Amino acid sequence: MTARSAEQTATALSAGVESGDRRALARAITHVERDDATGRALLAALYPRTGRAQTVGVTGSAGVGKSTLVARLAAEQRRRGRLVGIVAVDPSSPFSRGALLGDRIRMQELTADPGVFLRSMASRGHLGGLAESASGVVDVLDAGGYDVVIVETVGAGQDEVEIASATQSTVLVTSPQAGDEIQSMKAGLMEVAQLLVVNKADLAGADTAVQQLLSLLAIAAPRAWEPPVLKVVARSGEGVEQLADRIDDHQRHVRDSRHAGPERRALVEAQLTTLATAALSRRALGEARRSGVLARLVGEVADRRLDPRSAADELLAAIGAGADDGPGRPSP
């Protein structure tokens, strides 16, 4: 596809997205996810129209009931008259790079509702980073007039933490069966979650799980927003209304608080540096690949004739970036 026709496709699709054409929206998401020329032109056109949606990340380990909770939360938002977009991220196979995306199974009722748009997304194979792809998809749904955009991810690693930081309100879901896990949540997800949910709260051990979360919060650094701990039974819907209320509270906090400005700037700075880093390494490594420098260095390190650190320095020198002084060493 030439640059010109990519531009034209983007113009047509962005008009479709803004007018509520669901097919155009679906196509637009595909382009943004691929990070192709059309996708980039689309985001450039749509970005000024974003910022209206309430964006919510829902994360937690496999089996804690995230999909069921997201389905309930979406239904509650629909009851409040809001249009709901959902981005459900599932892991890709590291071997085939294929993926089996099964979140629709637990969100059956939503499929029949024209006020809900559900998109499944595979986690791997995003050169610009999954978080960037996901936040682009969120932007498209936001520009498309969806009042609430929910991103669901399996909270297992750095990628998921990054995605969480791409939404305004992050809900960390756990369950009474995950008791030991709560103990180990001292770093990472706890810091990025603004709402903590103990799902399956009808099971034994729910109160213990709540207590554990509260005691972890008690030792955390003080902050402007204190994350509430909520008991929910996603299967029956118990507690979901309160969760939606508290998400609204947090959204008000984000939009009104004196910290909103600096927080937003920090988020945007993180997004920009991630994007620029990805683009820079893509360009530089593409060059090293074409020239054969990368292959030669890989060979030398594989044969143990050269150490990886020196090889990286040589690689940087070869692509004109100069050797890296390392974070601990002063620049000359």
What is the binding site for another protein (CB under 8 A)? 1, 3, 22-23, 26-27, 29-30, 33-37, 40, 92-93, 95-102, 104-105, 108, 111-112, 117-120, 122, 125-128, 279, 282-283, 286
Residue placing its CB nearer to another protein in the complex, 44 or 224: 44
Nearest to 217 by CA among 241, 182, 243: 182
Contact in structure between 159 and 274 (CB atoms under 8 Å): no
> What separation, in Å, do the N-terminal and C-terminal C-alpha atoms of the chain show?
45
Indicate the residue among 1 and 268 with the shorter CB distance to another protein: 1
- Rounded to a whole number of angstroms, the minimum distance from the CB of residue 172 to another protein is 26
The strand pair at 229-231 and 116-122 is best described as unpaired
Residue 85 C-beta: closest distance to another protein, Å? 10
Nearer to another protein, 93 or 236 (CB): 93
Give the CA distances from residue 279 to residues 129, 227, 314, in Å, rounded to whole numbers and listed in that order.
10, 35, 20
- Helix (H) / strand (E) element for 60: namely strand 54-60
Residue among 64, 56, 79 nearest 213 (CA): 64
Tell me how far, at minimum, the Cβ of 38 lies from another protein, in Å: 10
Question: Which is closer to another protein, CB of 93 or CB of 257?
Answer: 93
Residue number with CB closer to another protein (224 or 321): 321
CB of 149 to another protein, least distance (A): 14
Q: What residues pair up with 169 in beta bridges, in sequence order?
A: 56
- Cβ closest to another protein, residue 190 vs residue 319: 319
CA distances from 300 to 221, 294, 314, 322 (A): 47, 10, 12, 20
Report, in Å, the least distance between residue 205 CB and another protein: 30
Distance, in Å, from the CA atom of 171 to the CA atom of 246, rounded to the nearest integer, reads 10
H/E element, 149: strand 148-154
Least separation in angstroms between residue 247's CB and another protein is 23
Q: How many residues does the chain have?
A: 332
Least spacing, CB of residue 21 vs another protein, in Å: 9
Name residue, tokens 């990628």. 159
Strand partners, 230: 197
Nearer to another protein, 286 or 299 (CB): 286
